[in-house]
Homo-oligomer: A and B are copies of this chain.
Amino acid sequence: MNKLFSDRISDVPQSFIREILKVAVDPNIISFAGGLPNRDLFPVAALKKATNDVFDSAGKDILQYSNTEGYLPLREYIAARYKKHEGLDIDPADILITSGSQQGLDLLGKTLLNEGDDVIIEEPGYLGAIQAFSVYKSKFNPVPVGSQGLDVSAFEETLSKVDAKLFYAVPNFQNPSGVSYPEQNRHDVAAALAKSATLIIEDNPYGDLRFSGKQATSFKALIPEQTVLLGSFSKTVVPAFRLGWIVAPKALMEKLVIAKQASDLHTNYFSQRVLFEFLSQNDLDAHVANIIKVYGEQKNAMERAIKKYFPAEVTCTEPEGGMFLWATLPEGMDARALFDVAIEEKVAFVPGAPFYVSKTATNTLRLNFSSVDPATIEEGIKRLGRVIQSQLPYLV
């Protein structure tokens, strides 16, 4: 049957994260492997009330087919929030509601990428983007990202060498590394982009979740015509609704709407209406402030425990927000091999390899702090520290 399949589908990397998550379901395992928001913070009662209210006020309307672009009042809400939080003037007509921002990536691949087209991606970079663009058989050009932001000279060199269609970036609290681009770094990256025809896809699912530091300028503000913004309600409200959005220049938006219609006609309309009702009845900023408080405490607990239990040879990023922290093991220690030992010690993480397009083994790993309470974090990091310590003698 194999000859039946398209070439493109064979190029998509199998997510071994799925395998890892299967291993990590053992309730005795303390898992830092997930990427889930904390379910204890879901606004269950407020969403239930919003749902009842839209059923009562518009029962038939909220259950019918709807338009491809998405519910206009929801798009207006998103535009108003950009204005309030970042001073951005976004036309609601330039916003397309998607089935999570993962679908935004798929639609961008669909409308922009021919086979072999060059894509610049952060390294380490977001696995979902690697998967989405792989489907369209793009060629990846990794550029290192770290605590100082994007490596601008490597970026400039890549831009000069390849005619890249797009650069995919998560400038705030990146998945997997937790790092953010500092203000000056953004200006340097934007200046390099401005000299090219490359679009930047600015994916910002975690931007609202800032514990410390100051919000930096978005690429949409720096180079609006070359920027496509992706956003999501998965981290600020709930993931199960699968509600995200794309902000794109008008010419591209026209193509995205065609692609969206061919992909699934329109995004779940019932959830759009429930979410908009929730946003109308509640203060999202107050809700987000509560998430920030909890995640911030958990991040602090993880950093304290790391200081206490990890060997000094391990270095970690210091995220100012988001859900992840990134550890670099001593040179020569393979995170995938470490994972197997860690599972025996009942602690899990995601080895770094799937976040790279240029290597298959690394000494890096991702730690999630959003869904584990501080006491459990302390215990889990203690176990992991012991595991790392136990492997030090085997380093050559």
Contact = CB atoms under 8 A, between A and B. Distances in A.
A242 B266 contact: yes
Interface stretch (A3-11, A83-91, A179-187, A337-345): A3-11
Contacts of A308: none
Contacts of A265: 100, 102, 128, 242
A132 interface: yes
Copies of this chain present in the complex amount to 2
A91 to B, nearest CB: 17
Contact of A240 (B7, B66, B128): B66
A396 interface: no
Interface of A: 1-2, 4-9, 12, 14-15, 36-37, 39-40, 42, 44, 47-48, 51-52, 55, 59-66, 98-100, 102-103, 106, 110-114, 117, 128, 131-132, 134-136, 165, 197, 199, 234, 238-242, 249, 251-252, 255, 258-259, 261-271, 273
A239 to B, nearest CB: 4
A259 B358 CA distance: 22
A265 B37 CA distance: 15
B12 A262 contact: yes
Nearest to A131: B262
Contacts of A42: 59-60, 63-64
A63 B110 contact: no
A341 to B, nearest CB: 27
A47 B51 CA distance: 11
A300 B128 CA distance: 51
A6 B268 contact: no
A219 to B, nearest CB: 17
